[in-house]
Amino acid sequence: MEKIAIFFGPLNGSVHRIAKLVASKIGDDKVDLVHIAAASASDLEKYTRIIFGISTIGKDTWQQKFDNNDWSKFFPVVTSFDFTGKRVAIFGLGDHITYAYHFVDSMGLLGKAIRKQGGELFGATSTEGYTFQDSEAISEGKFIGLPVDEDFEPELTEERVTAWVNSLLKEF
């Protein structure tokens, strides 16, 4: 069986921790964890099943150019890569209290870029059980992937990740 790649960033934070949790739920031997700071288009080419892990941008960077983080450096790779034939899923970290009007927006922006480049998204999640005002990550009434709030709902993470992985693997 071909391995699933989990491309994530940044390193050593909540996204990394959730990437490792997702990998453990799938089976560590069935997953390659790839930190996006060292990744390229040739890394994406190696896999037909890809999971991306991304965090929502903090308030100090909303009005700035995003040129100093891992995703700002990797996003041009995503927007120029041909995802045709790739099965893609996304998990996104967000803060539903501080960023209620921008909850997991980065996940939505990433998903739109992947779809524009021919990718097929899997792992949509119901908005039921989430409290927020608005999100770029909603399409057809569902989140396009798995939202995780480690700041205010860490007690829900394990259950949400387990349910998402179980559902995702059935269609992925």
- Find the CATH number of the domain harbouring 10: 3.40.50.360
8 with 36: CB under 8 angstroms?
Answer: yes
Spatial distance between the Cα atoms of 126 and 143, rounded to a whole number of angstroms: 6
- Count the domains in the chain: 1
138 with 127: CB under 8 angstroms?
Answer: yes
pTM over 0.75: yes
Tokens standing for 39?
Answer: 């990744």
pLDDT at 62: 41
Confidence band (pLDDT; 50, 70, 90) for 98?
confident
- Mean pLDDT of the residues in the chain: 92
